[in-house]
Structure 1
Amino acid sequence: MTPFHAKYYSYDLTRQHAANDVGRLSQSLFDASVDLNPHQIEAALFALRSPISKGVLLADEVGLGKTIEAGIVLCQLWSERKRRLLVICPASLRKQWAIELEEKFNLPSVVLDARTWRDAVKLGKSPLSQKAIVVLSYNYANRIRDELKAIAWDLVVIDEAHKLRNAYRESNKIGQGIRWATEDSRKLLLTATPLQNSLLELYGLSTLIDEHIFGDVNAFRSQYTNAGGDLEGLRQRLGGFCRRTLRNQVTEYIRYTERRAITRPFRPTDDEHKLYEAVTAFLMRESSYAIPRRQRHLTELILRKLLASSSMAIAGTLETMKQRLETLRDEKVKDDPEFTELLVSEEDMEDDLLDEILDIDPPEAETETENQPPTIDRKLLNQEIAELANLANWAKSIGTDTKTRTLLNALDIGFEQMAATDAQRKALIFTESKRTQTYLKQFLEANGYAGEVVEFSGTNNSSEATAIYQQWLLANRDTGRITGSRDIDIRAALIEHFRNQATILIATEAAAEGVNIQFCSLVINYDLPWNPQRVEQRIGRCHRYGQLHDVVVINFLNERNDADRRVLELLTEKFNLFNGVFGASDEVLGSIESGVDFEKRILTIYQQCRTPAEIETAFKALQAELDESIQARMTDTRKLLLENFDEDVHERLKVQLSDAKAQLDKFGKRFWLLTQFMLQDRARFDDQQLIFDLVQSPLQGIATGRYHLISKSAPKPDHNAQSVAESNADYGNFLYRLSHPLGEYVVDHGKIIDTPVAKVVFNISQHRTRLHLVEALRGKFGYLVLTALAIESYQREEYLLFSAIADDSSPLDQETCEKLFSCYAEMAGITSWPDAIEQRLQQDAQRHVKATISQSLEANHKHFNEAREKLEKWADDMVLAAEKALKDTKEQIKILQRQARMATNLDEQHDIQQKILKLEKQQRRQRQEIFQVEDDVIVKRDQLIETLERRLTQKTETKRLFAIEWAVV
């Protein structure tokens, strides 16, 4: 290594490549703690390929890592200092996004909702202008749409985008709000189900990206949805902004295991069943002080979940309800939505329930309702308080219920299955109640599992969790794994404790989000959610990429509850959640618009149906409705439009993987060599382990200690680690990335290292592999300059251009010079060269710069032509819509003229003629409108094209980095 190598490597490691160059992803892939899959690299490149595109839709099937694909894109933009980044997703996925961005890509993020917004404002911060990726729910994004609109976002990621497929309709308020707020920003849409039941869904998704992809909805309908629609033409247009990878295309890269379901029935005692019936009767009352008027259905839903969970869960909730009524005893009865919010947060239930409560706007004034009197009837209120006290005491007296005793048997069965497949003796138990969680931990520890049980919740604020967290902090104080966020770090600590020490993890719904537990292959649904998306999310914590064993899923069934039995049948048969290689298909899950709405439908059955016959009839009706939405009538169309039938798809993915690995190998090697050179007096290096000990820190804030280079090719210890970052931590104390402050120091100082003109001798004989291009130069010498070129057009592109000649005046090409700098070399003193050589190299450099600029211009012209073609088609669509309206009017006139000829009396004839006159007037107006539409569309199209042309204009800057006299020995 020489200072010239250091400067060249420093610029090369951070330069901005052209949009469609695999090298553009080098920095993001190198810094990311994720396994490398070729379809994900290809998808990320597709998302970045056009600098003037307004966005793309990534539609890989479930389980192929769309979040990873989006993460690669976000990571790359972050590394390019484009940091106004926004993620909009369902409420239940917000925390998962934040954690995955942190753990897998080392990217900071902030989840914003009504509370965190208020907290930020109180601290004097601008909530949307933080040095982090902003994560929002759909509802909250719509609520703050004016604030979102005011920011020029570099990228907006919309996850589960199929939920907004009707955003073009005015009735879809949330979709309309998000579409308006982000219309000027580049977007990345993610969905496994871009097409469910209607081609118009594809139109709706396209309008989220860019309103100029297709014309209006009428034009789209007339071209593609009617009989004889041009599906091949639609496929071609989708190809410009939509990419879909199927599981069967990547099976050689990703291995999936099976799911095996076991149902454990239990039969409650008469006392338990009577309590259930008594609480049910209380919940079915039309009028009650105990349940607030607002969010009544949501409150009933929560209480139903807790009633099915455990006697301890419902006992504590009934006590809370009683205390609330006691505080209202002498006050005017108020709508009390905070009570429902309290129930959700106390029991650590799913975020989308809380989100639904928080996103309800407060009423302007209290109003009377027929279900609740406006003033307190003290007698009725006291009766309810007494009744709640009685029910709560009854629930507490149950003690250990039948379902809990059945859990021990379920664990025995599950662990037998684990032993048969050589899987680890680990069990993940899900409950919907924090009270049930605590109760189960105490029960299990008293029945053979003492010291083997750990709890995981949304707050993780128990004394035991805090102790585990403190131990983890102590063990990792020098590893670089501590993020500084208690929420993220304590989750990592608890999962690691479960992996290394505990046998059972009892989790509330918080663990269904953002936690990867592939080392466990036994999932027990102690409480079974009614929401199929939530069930799939739970199982997906263990049954996912990286799972080595078949996953056993155990569900409990109350034999004395017909509704519970039908819910289990529905989830099993209609959604196929528990069996098969992939679990629920994306098509089936995508048919559920809203998990909470679906749960409310089932709640209605529980609330209204009493007899087995009523329950059966209601569930059959719901099942018939699901059959309608799940049926496969769109299957053939979906395949035609969205599936890739290229025979060379596997070969292309192999090439993509090979190219990316080659780039990363070169990237990692150069970063390592640069670090060795820049820190040679401050650190001790181990080339075999890719470890170095920093003895003397170059800057305040950079800790001394052991650093380990992230390497995708180096072997990693197999500890079933939660992430590559955890595996790498076993090698050394600090993960060493390009984005680490030490990495940034090395690169920044490498760029400004002193490089006066000198003689450099390259030693090809010491190179480990054959370099034929360089070997041909052995014994020769010559002169070389390196020029940095930056081009500003649709985006910034940076090039490092070599210009070199040999002693016989023959030129050296770019590839030869690059390979020359992969060889070891030594400086042989400061030198100078004749003016003629300087003049020749200057001329060569200018020609190289001009050629590169022309090449860039040609590539940008291609992007420009694609965009112009899109606008031409949009213009044609808009005119077609006007012409279609005129054609429809003509057809109506013809029909009426036939009817007029067949009219039997003058009155009928007169009525028809009046209709014809009205339509003929409309026809004349439509003919005039066609010309007007054509004129307006052409003006709009030309304005858009002119804007693109202005952006195409290039600005360039060049800078000589160094000049050397070279020789090869």
Structure 2
Amino acid sequence: MLAIDDLYSFGEGVIVQSRSANGITQHLVEFPESNERRWIPYFALRQIKGVKHAYIVGSQSEGNVAERLRLKTLAHALRNWNENTGALSSLEFNPLPHQIHLVHRILNSGSLNWLIADDVGLGKTIETGMLLYALQQRGQAKRILLITPAGLTRQWQEEMYDKFRLGDFQIYGHHFQIHEPREWKMHDHVIASIDKLKQESHLELLLQADAWDLVVFDEAHRLSRRQYGLHYDTSERFNLALSLRKSEKARSILLLTATPHQGMQDKFISLLELLRPDRKNEFALLSLKPVLLHDMVIRNYKADVTDSEGNFVFHGKSTIALEVPVNQQSIDFDQSLQDYLRKGYQAGKNKGYSGNAIGFVMTVYRKLAASSVAAIRRALYRRLSRLENDVLDEIIQSNFVEDERFQGELEEFTVSSNQDNREEFFDGEIELLKLLITRVEQLINHDDKLSRFMDTLLKQLLQDNPNEKILIFSEYRATQEYIKEAITAQFGEDKVVLLHGGLSHDERRDVIGQFDNDAQFLISTEAGGEGINLQRHCHIMVNYDLPWNPMRLVQRIGRLYRYGQQKKVVVLNVNSPGTVDEQIIALMYQRIEQVVSDMAAVQGDEFNEALKDDILGEVSNLLDLEEILEQASAGGIERTEERIKEALERAKNATNLQRDLFKYVSRYNPEDLASELVITTAHQLTFIEGMCKQLNIEIVKRIHDDKVLQLKMPEKVMNELGTRSSTLDITVDRDMARSRKNTVMMDMNASLMQLFIRTACSFSFGGKTASVCARDLSGNSFITANLRWQDIYGRRMKQDFAAFFIQGNRVYQNPKVLGDWLLEEAETSSIIPTKDSNEHWFQLVEREAQKVLNDSTEINVIPDHVDWVSGAWLNNE
């Protein structure tokens, strides 16, 4: 083994070839750590003894070399665990085991062509971010293209920066334009709308860009290709993905969708062909050989998800419906509204295509009326003012135009701000509007829905705990303001905060911060239905209105019903069947609940609430009920009930078919990591404490239940870090780092942590071999190594850190007891076995390491190298 002189150190290497040039001998040195070779003149090298030689001859340095061996072993284990999972990097959250496993599974598969089909709410965006981060740490993904629905481009950009500090992503068409193909070279991290890129002019430009290392398609079920006999009906979105694949502009493709199958086998197979076009003939036999999915599709369910301690993350929820009795004012108003809607829809039909705008307005009015009397009241007043050419009051402005989360607000904004429709939709519209306004004024003075919400619901919720925090959802801003006025009048303005599409990213963050601290009520539109986490301080949610799209309800519940929620989530749905639409919406949710309960019950004795939520997410994602509701006014409630039943039956069958097929995909199983040396925050902390001692860094104080260490650093360490401050507060707890200013999160990106890793892994640190006192370890020895695989082009594809534990003539890989031993400071022993024993044990380990390399060989992954890290002899006395 050889090492470059410390001044320009490339680390340790092996001479594989020599030559002479101008009288100077040069050696071609292979460096396993960086997977590169360099010609180095002989005088820049110095000879060292590697682990194998030192272990066999029984070499051991002076001092507590056992502790240095422990720290060196930990340094390699920490670095490798982070490279394989991204779990120890600069993340703004604590990754769950299923997320760590997913990243580990994909990175170690030798292929990035995967379909991530995790259940709704399990964090496909987070998993993708972890994967991208890990790939960048490995240097394996320079050019990345994220293709998303138009309304989610900004959300993806925010998530990548907020959670992973991946701040280089720019949105195509928003942050930059491409006028000539060469301009693509300036953009390596791009987010783009799928509906923009599918257009011929944009696609042509995209296909002239340099190849992307990874292309990610979010909501991949939108890539639709159906097969009819020998012919395909291909959507433009699918053609976009296919063009990238065929032109070899996408070296790898990652597809994200919770519903990849949707009961359509041909469409599902088309997605698989995008991932692996070389296996097209095999996919034709998928029904007979579903095991093909194991190395291409990964799916996790809420029912299976646990935290790092093995506890189920989802503790259950209860859903309660609060029905408000119908009063005479509601009946009178609904009769007039139904009359208005029928005439409006008919007027739209009479005008043909140009009448679609009228139908849109009628549908929005129906949704507003189902939301609150205040929402429909505002819309009716504005419509009448427009027809009578009055000056319109200033309307609420928003910046939500291209975000799917704010569909309701966009509808409300559109019908309120349209200045062009100054003609009656039908004869007599003005008179009918005036009648409606008269009746809506009578109704607002007898709004039993708001009264029951304030006087009954809130009163009961706050009876036991007057300070209980409550999350309230409504789809529309007018309803939101209406609820706020009522709550403010009773509880005070400082108790209420609003979340909606008109807020900037920073303003949203401030609102959430206020709710986490002093505010008691958060009233949110769908702006809070995705992308925010409120589970730490709240477990009660009230739906003042129920969304027409059932997936919106699933997403709302996901704000509280997620990892970190310590209480049972309570969901209360306020239902006032004063209109036909409200009756139909209530009926729809009742039918969904019944179907989901029936499907969950047949799963057997292991049925639990989390399983029920898995199925609810699947069924809701497969349902398209908005069209049914939009047509309900023409068909009546009986026909609408039939159509809901038919749609649910189709969704049920599709869900069952998908579940049967997905028995063969990859999924999280705690046993899958049984052969891994699993690294936890406890290993991080013990490594930090040990390295502080080695580098003479004083731990002055431990505060906040030992979660924060206050350090005093010597001048040498200060110089290494380039800082003038000798004091530093550190933690391995992400929540503590977020809440406490000037406290450094000691993840793998922290400068001090990098110094610790670099120091412990260096040759001069020592610790390659040692005899250790190991009373809790019954065995002879253990040897650790980095196992590496490459692709057919010699590029590194995979690396695992392995600890081989020797007992007699048997070798065990990564036993849990060894992981436990690494948590405590090690003590050196003076007893070293004979050379013959050492040589025998090392041969056993070499054979086992080679076996591991060979067993993990795949078509794209072949064995590369074993780099020995440390070897220890165990003294059990």
For Structure 1 versus Structure 2, the TM-score category normalised by the shorter chain is 0.5 to 0.7
Quote the offset at 1:448 in angstroms.
Answer: 3.7
Partner Cα distance (1:741, 1:10) in 2: 17
User: Of 494, 514, 522, which residue of structure 2 is paired with 1:497?
Assistant: 514
Quote the offset at 1:659 in angstroms.
Answer: 4.5
Q: Does 1:306 align with 2:368?
A: yes
Q: Does 1:616 align with 2:678?
A: no
**573-582 or 544-553, which moves further after superposition?**
573-582
- Aligned to 1:501, what secondary structure does the other structure show? coil
For the 8 Å contact 1:163–1:593, the answer to whether it is kept is no
- Residue of structure 1 equivalent to 2:653: 632
Q: Does 1:262 align with 2:321?
A: yes
Any gaps of 5 or more consecutive residues in structure 2? 1-63, 413-419, 598-607, 805-812, 829-834
Q: Does 1:350 align with 2:416?
A: no
- Residue of structure 1 equivalent to 2:832: none
- Residue of structure 2 equivalent to 1:726: 735
Q: How does 1:735-814 map to 2 (within 5 A)?
A: 735-743=744-752, 746=755, 750=759, 755=764, 770=776, 793-796=794-797
Partner Cα distance (1:732, 1:953) in 2: 46
- Residue of structure 1 equivalent to 2:589: 571
For the 8 Å contact 2:170–2:191, the answer to whether it is kept is yes
User: Of 621, 625, 630, which residue of structure 2 is paired with 1:603?
Assistant: 630
For the 8 Å contact 1:303–1:314, the answer to whether it is kept is yes
For the 8 Å contact 1:194–1:202, the answer to whether it is kept is yes
Q: Does 1:460 align with 2:460?
A: no
For the 8 Å contact 1:60–1:245, the answer to whether it is kept is yes
- Residue of structure 1 equivalent to 2:807: none
Partner Cα distance (2:650, 2:425) in 1: 48
Quote the offset at 1:506 in angstroms.
Answer: 0.5
For the 8 Å contact 1:457–1:511, the answer to whether it is kept is yes
Q: How does 1:262-661 map to 2 (within 5 A)?
A: 262-265=321-324, 266-267=326-327, 268-269=329-330, 272-273=333-334, 276=337, 280=341, 283-284=344-345, 285-286=347-348, 298=360, 300-314=362-376, 317=379, 345=400, 350-351=405-406, 380=423, 387=430, 394=437, 398=441, 401=444, 406-415=449-458, 418=461, 425-460=468-503, 487=505, 489-518=506-535, 519-574=537-592, 581-582=609-610, 590=618, 598-606=625-633, 609=634, 614-632=635-653, 635=656, 638=658, 640-643=660-663, 653-654=670-671, 656=673, 659=676, 661=678
For the 8 Å contact 1:429–1:504, the answer to whether it is kept is yes
Quote the offset at 1:240 in angstroms.
Answer: 3.0
Q: Does 1:44 align with 2:99?
A: no
Quote the offset at 1:530 in angstroms.
Answer: 0.7
Partner Cα distance (1:25, 1:573) in 2: 44
Quote the offset at 1:425 in angstroms.
Answer: 1.8
Residue 181 of structure 1 aligns to which amino acid in structure 2? L
Quote the offset at 1:278 in angstroms.
Answer: 7.4
User: Of 241, 246, 263, which residue of structure 2 is paired with 1:197?
Assistant: 263
Quote the offset at 1:626 in angstroms.
Answer: 0.4
Any gaps of 5 or more consecutive residues in structure 1? 17-21, 225-230, 330-338, 358-375, 462-486, 712-724, 778-783, 804-812, 827-836, 865-947
Quote the offset at 1:35 in angstroms.
Answer: 5.0
Quote the offset at 1:420 in angstroms.
Answer: 8.3
- Aligned to 2:289, what secondary structure does the other structure show? helix
Q: Does 1:175 align with 2:238?
A: yes
Partner Cα distance (1:645, 1:761) in 2: 42
Partner Cα distance (1:29, 1:962) in 2: 23
Quote the offset at 1:619 in angstroms.
Answer: 0.7
Deviations 1:751-794 (A, max 9, x none): 897939x89997957x9x746679x99xxxxxx99999996735
Task: Give the 3 Å change call, closer, same or farther, for CA 705–638 of structure 1 in structure 2.
Answer: same
Task: Give the 3 Å change call, closer, same or farther, for CA 382–245 of structure 1 in structure 2.
Answer: closer
Partner Cα distance (1:278, 1:94) in 2: 41
Residue 410 of structure 1 aligns to which amino acid in structure 2? F
Partner Cα distance (1:351, 1:377) in 2: 23
Task: Give the 3 Å change call, closer, same or farther, for CA 14–575 of structure 1 in structure 2.
Answer: same
Task: Give the 3 Å change call, closer, same or farther, for CA 198–567 of structure 1 in structure 2.
Answer: same
For the 8 Å contact 1:319–1:389, the answer to whether it is kept is no
Q: Does 1:709 align with 2:721?
A: no
Residue 669 of structure 1 aligns to which amino acid in structure 2? T
Partner Cα distance (2:826, 2:86) in 1: 24
Residue 795 of structure 1 aligns to which amino acid in structure 2? R
For the 8 Å contact 2:89–2:748, the answer to whether it is kept is no
- Residue of structure 2 equivalent to 1:893: none
For the 8 Å contact 2:86–2:131, the answer to whether it is kept is no
TM-score, normalised on structure 2?
Answer: 0.67
Partner Cα distance (1:526, 1:401) in 2: 16
Partner Cα distance (1:56, 1:422) in 2: 48
- Aligned to 1:689, what secondary structure does the other structure show? coil
Quote the offset at 1:511 in angstroms.
Answer: 0.2
Residue 47 of structure 1 aligns to which amino acid in structure 2? I
For the 8 Å contact 1:89–1:135, the answer to whether it is kept is yes
For the 8 Å contact 1:154–1:186, the answer to whether it is kept is yes
Residue 536 of structure 1 aligns to which amino acid in structure 2? V
For the 8 Å contact 2:120–2:258, the answer to whether it is kept is yes
Residue 641 of structure 1 aligns to which amino acid in structure 2? L
For the 8 Å contact 1:426–1:504, the answer to whether it is kept is yes
Task: Give the 3 Å change call, closer, same or farther, for CA 89–413 of structure 1 in structure 2.
Answer: farther
Quote the offset at 1:356 in angstroms.
Answer: 12
For the 8 Å contact 2:108–2:798, the answer to whether it is kept is no
Residue 425 of structure 1 aligns to which amino acid in structure 2? E
Deviations 1:794-817 (A, max 9, x none): 5255689999xxxxxxxxx99999
Residue 647 of structure 2 aligns to which amino acid in structure 1? L
For the 8 Å contact 2:469–2:520, the answer to whether it is kept is yes
Residue 406 of structure 1 aligns to which amino acid in structure 2? K
Residue 629 of structure 1 aligns to which amino acid in structure 2? R
Partner Cα distance (1:11, 1:668) in 2: 12
Task: Give the 3 Å change call, closer, same or farther, for CA 798–659 of structure 1 in structure 2.
Answer: closer
Partner Cα distance (2:814, 2:534) in 1: 48
Q: More helix per residue: 1 or 2?
A: 1
- Aligned to 2:565, what secondary structure does the other structure show? coil
Q: How does 1:47-86 map to 2 (within 5 A)?
A: 47-51=106-110, 53-62=111-120, 64-83=122-141, 84-86=143-145
Partner Cα distance (1:349, 1:27) in 2: 30
User: Of 854, 857, 863, which residue of structure 2 is paired with 1:858?
Assistant: 854
For the 8 Å contact 2:377–2:440, the answer to whether it is kept is no
Task: Give the 3 Å change call, closer, same or farther, for CA 100–618 of structure 1 in structure 2.
Answer: same
Residue 521 of structure 2 aligns to which amino acid in structure 1? I
Residue 642 of structure 1 aligns to which amino acid in structure 2? F
- Aligned to 1:623, what secondary structure does the other structure show? helix
- Aligned to 1:350, what secondary structure does the other structure show? helix
Partner Cα distance (1:138, 1:245) in 2: 26
Deviations 1:234-280 (A, max 9, x none): 22222232344455555753343132221332544577547745763
Q: How does 1:684-703 map to 2 (within 5 A)?
A: 684=700, 686=702, 689-693=706-710
**581-590 or 200-209, which moves further after superposition?**
581-590
Let me know the Cα RMSD of the aligned residues. Answer: 6.0
Deviations 1:456-501 (A, max 9, x none): 123336xxxxxxxxxxxxxxxxxxxxxxxxx1x5434322321332
User: Of 226, 231, 236, which residue of structure 1 is paired with 2:291?
Assistant: 236
- Aligned to 2:269, what secondary structure does the other structure show? helix
Residue 533 of structure 1 aligns to which amino acid in structure 2? M
Q: How does 1:953-968 map to 2 (within 5 A)?
A: none
Q: More strand per residue: 1 or 2?
A: 2
